Amino acid sequence: MEVQIRHSGNLIEISPASVEPLLQEKLEYWYRSMNHDPRADNAGKMTFQRKRIYRVDGDRILCLQGVLQRVLDTLNAAGCHTEYTDLREPKVLITDEVNLARYIPEQGLRHGQGEILSLVEENFFGQFEAPTGYGKTELIVMLAAYFPKARIIICSPSISLMKDTYPRLLAVTPSVSRTGGGKKETPGRVVLTTDKSLLRVPVDQYDMLFFDEVHRAASGAASKVLAQVRHTRMFGFSATTRKRGDGADLRTEALFGPVLFEMSYADAQARGYVSPIKYYMADLTEHECDINSANWDLPAYRKMNCYWYNQVRNLKLMRAAATIPVQLGMPPDAQIMVAVETLSQAYALKRIAPDYEVVYAERDRKDWERERTNGKIPQDEIFLDKERREQFRQDFSAGRLRKVICTPTWSTGMNFTSLDIIVSASGATSQILTIQWGGRASRVREGKDFALIIDCADQWDPWAKRRAGDRRRSYNQKGWTPVTVGTVSAYRQESLL
């Protein structure tokens, strides 16, 4: 069969549409979601919905350019003869006036960064994967200098990182503006924004877009904006470009294309870019969980009663945080972040360890007051407003604040050089979140021998064993080292103090 493929802007047009059955399997994915509404018949259960990343328009199929190679490979494997026509505009080229040396850090380019610069120059789209701590943000700043005549959008994963990146961009180009985080400045040559503020940026009027933590681009408003882009070259950066928990990796590929460069954690560690990571998993048996309940078949019930509010599990984890690091030779004042899934779980842990501060994302004060009235939040707790949250971030970044319990608001887009220990308390099974949380402690600093993850080997039923096994496999795939330094008993006291 003769197949015509026309590539215009960020779209590819495939004709005739009769080849749809050949492409359907490669251009569809199963979207997974959990229904958290307790009133629903399927409350707490996973649902699956088949989604496609193309549409049929008359006798042609339209899809985003990121899956071009996937389309070509599939059609060629089916014996089709493809004729490809590239109608895109010329690339944004580097001019002779660029002196990149002035923008390179004193220690020079890290291994692979020069290759990434070249790949961005040669391609219209692509993804780049490297561990947290490799220097992705610094690389994006260098790219803004590398293309001095290109109009560029840089999408940061958080307002905090946006604030940190802004002065670094000003050092390489004077024309930088911000959209998001309370800012709406006159657009400059370089626009610094967040994924939630992309709706306010005329993306199609810019030559290039660099999306930090690109795994976030497949969901929310950002994906809808980016799917409409027709002439902007788009590149994504992340430590976890694939294996989204909702199955939408194909959507990210459609927007940004395949992974062009990948550096493993082991390689980055061998080159001294990131710290070695060890992990310890405390045992939790079926005798330490309330597994006898009529609601046991609901995953939401298991998570609440055997993860979030399980006093024995919480005590074991916090006891491990107080004892295991010292047994491994870490300093007694090592900085610790406890990663939780919900605010209720955060306060359940704080009742055990009151010397920890609780950090969470912006939320409505009325909802927070209602939860405090219902007893989910201690009566003496102070509401975490925007200013106090920013002060916590600054204090934690500077090492002045040593112990926090944190919801996923700090799981990505944060640079914590002083962080030594992650306590993974949520029981989450998402490979992306597991690796992102672990990566928070990967920053290299003088005197730091390794970082430590403390987790729980939940053994109370096959469902929990599978989830704990998934996290363990994620750690092992990254080359992180398991340690056994004895067992941790479950204290029955209300406090570790």
Strand order in the sheet with 451-458: 357-359, 403-406, 335-339, 419-424, 451-458, 277-284, 481-482
The answer on 145 and 61 residing in a single domain is: no
Distance between CA atoms of 144 and 161, rounded to whole angstroms? 16
Residues 145, 25 share a domain: no
* 404/353 same-domain check: yes
Among 86, 112, 134, residue at a domain's last position = 86
- Are 234 and 307 within one domain? no
pLDDT, residue 96, reads 55
What confidence score (pLDDT) does residue 312 get?
87
Residue 92 included in any domain: no
pLDDT of residue 83: 95
Give one DSSP letter per residue of 340-368, joined into a string. -SSHHHHHHHHHH-TTSEEE-----HHHH
Domain count, the chain: 3
Domain that holds residue 62: 2-86
Residue 492 pLDDT: 45
Does 54 fall in a domain? yes
Last residue within a domain, chosen from 268, 285, 305: 268
Looking at residue 424, what is its pLDDT?
92
Q: Strands 176-180 and 190-194: what pairing?
A: parallel
Mean pLDDT per block of 10 residues along the chain (497 residues) reads: 93 94 92 62 69 93 94 94 89 61 70 90 92 88 88 90 90 90 88 90 92 84 87 90 76 93 93 93 80 67 81 90 93 93 88 91 79 81 87 91 90 81 87 82 90 91 88 92 73 42
The answer to whether the CB of 15 falls within 8 A of the CB of 3 is yes
Whole-Å CA distances, 292 to 302, 426, 456, 461: 11, 21, 21, 11
Would you state the pLDDT for residue 67? 94
Both 418 and 378 in one domain: the answer is yes
